[in-house]
Amino acid sequence: MGNLLKVLTCTDLEQGPNFFLDFENAQPTESEKEIYNQVNVVLKDAEGILEDLQSYRGAGHEIREHPADEKLQEKAWGAVVPLVGKLKKFYEFSQRLEAALRGLLGALTSTPYSPTQHLEREQALAKQFAEILHFTLRFDELKMTNPAIQNDFSYYRRTLSRMRINNVPAEGENEVNNELANRMSLFYAEATPMLKTLSDATTKFVSENKNLPIENTTDCLSTMASVCRVMLETPEYRSRFTNEETVSFCLRVMVGVIILYDHVHPVGAFAKTSKIDMKGCIKVLKDQPPNSVEGLLNALRYTTKHLNDETTSKQIKSMLQ
Tell me the per-residue pLDDT of 215-237, one tens digit each, with 9 for 90 and over: 888 888 999 898 899 888 888 88
Strand partners, 19: 6
**pLDDT score of 85:** 92
Residue 43's pLDDT band (cuts 50, 70, 90): very high
Residue 9's pLDDT band (cuts 50, 70, 90): very low
- By the 8 A CB rule, do 129 and 101 touch? yes
**pLDDT score of 171:** 59
Tell me the per-residue pLDDT of 128-144, one tens digit each, with 9 for 90 and over: 999 999 999 999 999 99
- pLDDT(111) > 90: no
Chain-centroid distance, C-alpha 15: 23
**pLDDT score of 169:** 60
Q: In the chain, what percentage of residues exceed pLDDT 90? A: 39
Tell me the per-residue pLDDT of 251-304, one tens digit each, with 9 for 90 and over: 999 999 999 999 989 899 998 889 999 999 999 999 888 788 888 888 889 888
Report how far residue 178's alpha carbon sits from residue 170's, in angstroms, rounded to the nearest whole number: 12
Could you tell me the end-to-end alpha-carbon distance of the chain, in angstroms, rounded to an integer? 41
Tell me the per-residue pLDDT of 63-86, one tens digit each, with 9 for 90 and over: 887 566 677 778 888 888 899 999
- By the 8 A CB rule, do 94 and 194 touch? yes
How high is the mean pLDDT of the chain?
84
* Residue-wise DSSP of 78-122: HHHHHHHHHHHHHHHHHHHHHHHHHHHHHHHH-SSS-HHHHHHH-
Higher local confidence (pLDDT), 314 or 7? 314
Tell me the per-residue pLDDT of 163-192, one tens digit each, with 9 for 90 and over: 776 666 665 555 787 788 889 999 999 988
Domain ranges of the chain: 23-190, 213-320
Strand partners, 7: 18
Report how far residue 298's alpha carbon sits from residue 283's, in angstroms, rounded to the nearest whole number: 14
Residue 11's pLDDT band (cuts 50, 70, 90): very low
